[in-house]
Structure 1
Amino acid sequence: MYREFYGLKEKPFSKTPDPRYLFLSRGHREALARLQYAVEERELALLTGDIGCGKTTISRALMDAMGEECRFCFIVNPRLTPLEFLRAVARSIGVESPAVAKDELLKQLGEAVLVLRAEGRCPVIVIDEAQLIPDRELFDEIRLLTNFQLDDQNLMSVVLMGQPELRQILADPVHEPLRQRIAMHYHLQPLTLEETLEYIDFRLEVAGGVPGLFSPDAVRRIYDLSGGVPRKINILATNALLVGFGRDASWIDASLVEELREEASLY
């Protein structure tokens, strides 16, 4: 469809968190650098941002950046009991048959962590949508994971990612012990207007196209309607390409984007 019409090899504004399409705005670059440092130091890190700002894509880029020296465990749905959570972590770091009894499970976790250390690798537990964690007990288990350590070094890194309300949740005094262990905090902001222009051109080029397919006025309308949130930009840009294809439009101008105003209110 529109890919061939606009000379694209791939869909430039796909929703999947492909690290190739990670546009390193100033904020994204700093977030990734801070996470890399936290993982290198085996620390607990907190990354927050509005829905669609690119947190998950950054976590995939982090995995690529760290390479074989880390073993990543992604918890994408943290609505788990503490035991379910620990078993998921154990399985992801090499425990073939996680125990049901908690004391045995913790022993298995400790052994698996030491095996990874002997291999020169660090387990990294990434908990996405952490604002959905159901209760204090699971937050306590996350905190206790940081107890896997030697005298001179932690043996595991944990990354908590979530929407802004996660910070409000963690501000509760009951979570003070966990907050004190968070070594890196970062809040990811939406893109600026200039970054939105660069973002759109960047993704077009990665997809095999050429920059400048969207006029400056079209980009401004996309920015106004999306608030600079990458996921919303992707939806608007994709729909604009579809409209443009249907009109045989060789480039996307502001009038085409304006037609999406009503749809944008649903995002």
Structure 2
Amino acid sequence: MYKQYFGLREKPFGKTPDPRFLFLSAGHQEALARLEYAVEEREIALLTGDVGCGKTTLSRALMDRCGSGYRFVMIFNPRMGALEFLRAVAHGLEVDEPARSKEDLLRQITGRLYELYRREISPVLVIDEAQTIGELAVFDEIRLLTNYQMDEHNLLSVLIMGQPELRTILRYQPMEPLRQRISLHFHLNPLTPEETMEYLDFRVTAAGGTAGLFTPDAVQAIFELSGGVPRRINTLATNALLVAYGNDAAVIDASIIQEVRDEVTL
């Protein structure tokens, strides 16, 4: 539809995380640098941000940067019991048949971590949407997983990601043992108005189009409606492209953004 009309090779504002379309604002650059450091040093890092700010996309970009010397274990839905959590970790570490008992599971995980260490492969546990964890025991298992060491080096690095309320959860006194082990903290803020314009131009050109497709007044309207949150920007921009295509418009201005605002903000 609109791709050919605007000279695009692909959709510039897709919903799925794609590192090719990762716009590194100052905040994203710093967050990615901290995550890289945590992985290299096998530390525990905490990354928070509002829904749609790009946390999951950053984790995908981190995987691409780290290369073959790392084994990423991704847990996207950690709302589970402690035993289920350990089984998910074991499965991610490619344990053939994760055990049913905690004692056997820990034995399997330990063996796998030491095996990866001997092969000079660094495992990285990424826990997304960690604010949905409902059992204190799961947080305790996360802490205990960092006890595995060899030659004074941790065998596992852990990246805990979630929405801002995760920081409130971690302030509770029972979380103190885990909180003390988190060496890196970062909160990912929404884009500024200037970054919103850069973001729109970046994604349009990455898709094969030309910068300037969104006029300055359209960018301001998008920023005000989205609050600078990339996922909301994507929704507004996609709908605006469809409306502009239907209206035979060469550029997208504020009037088009106002036309789609009711549908998008519903």
- Say whether the fold is shared (TM-score over 0.5): yes
Whole-angstrom CA distance in 2 between matches of 1:148 and 1:3: 51
Whole-angstrom CA distance in 2 between matches of 1:217 and 1:245: 19
- 1:186-234: CA deviations, max 9, x gaps? 0000000000000000001111111111111111100011000000000
Which residue of 1 is the match for residue 217 of structure 2? 217
Which residue of 2 is the match for residue 90 of structure 1? 90
Which residue of 2 is the match for residue 69 of structure 1? 69
Q: What residue ranges of structure 2 are gaps of 5+ in the alignment?
A: none
Q: Retained in 2: the 8 A contact 1:218–1:254?
A: yes
SS at match of 2:29: helix
Which residue of 1 is the match for residue 176 of structure 2? 176
Q: Retained in 2: the 8 A contact 1:95–1:108?
A: yes
Please report the RMSD computed on the Cα atoms of aligned residues, expressed in angstroms: 0.8
1:118 maps to 2:141: no
Counting aligned pairs with the same residue, the percent is 63
Q: Retained in 2: the 8 A contact 1:226–1:264?
A: no
Query: Aligned letter for 1:240?
Result: A
- 1:88-146: CA deviations, max 9, x gaps? 11111121101111111111101101111111111101000000001111100011110
Q: Post-superposition shift, 1:264? A: 3.5
Q: Retained in 2: the 8 A contact 1:110–1:148?
A: yes
Q: Post-superposition shift, 1:260? A: 2.0
Whole-angstrom CA distance in 2 between matches of 1:124 and 1:245: 44
Whole-angstrom CA distance in 2 between matches of 1:91 and 1:148: 18
Whole-angstrom CA distance in 2 between matches of 1:251 and 1:137: 54
Question: Residues 237-252 of structure 1: matches in 2 within 5 Å?
Answer: 237-252=237-252
Query: Aligned letter for 1:29?
Result: Q
Q: Post-superposition shift, 1:151? A: 3.9
Q: Retained in 1: the 8 A contact 2:82–2:135?
A: no
Q: Post-superposition shift, 1:263? A: 2.5
Which residue of 2 is the match for residue 78 of structure 1? 78
Whole-angstrom CA distance in 2 between matches of 1:254 and 1:33: 36
Query: Aligned letter for 2:114?
Result: L
1:227 maps to 2:265: no
1:21 maps to 2:21: yes
Which residue of 1 is the match for residue 154 of structure 2? 154
Which residue of 2 is the match for residue 164 of structure 1? 164
- 1:52-103: CA deviations, max 9, x gaps? 0000000000111111111001101011111111111111112110111111
* Paired residue total: 266
Q: Retained in 2: the 8 A contact 1:225–1:264?
A: no
Q: Post-superposition shift, 1:261? A: 2.2
Which residue of 2 is the match for residue 142 of structure 1? 142
Which residue of 1 is the match for residue 195 of structure 2? 195
Whole-angstrom CA distance in 1 between matches of 2:5 and 2:38: 44
SS at match of 2:150: coil
Following superposition, which runs of at least 4 residues in structure 1 exceed 2 angstroms of deviation? 263-266
Query: Aligned letter for 1:172?
Result: Y
Q: Retained in 2: the 8 A contact 1:126–1:159?
A: yes
- 1:3-58: CA deviations, max 9, x gaps? 11101011000010001111000000000000000010000110000000000000
Q: Post-superposition shift, 1:259? A: 1.2
SS at match of 1:211: coil
Whole-angstrom CA distance in 2 between matches of 1:192 and 1:222: 11
Q: What residue ranges of structure 1 are gaps of 5+ in the alignment?
A: none
Which residue of 1 is the match for residue 254 of structure 2? 254
Whole-angstrom CA distance in 2 between matches of 1:246 and 1:22: 28
Question: Residues 121-132 of structure 1: matches in 2 within 5 Å?
Answer: 121-132=121-132
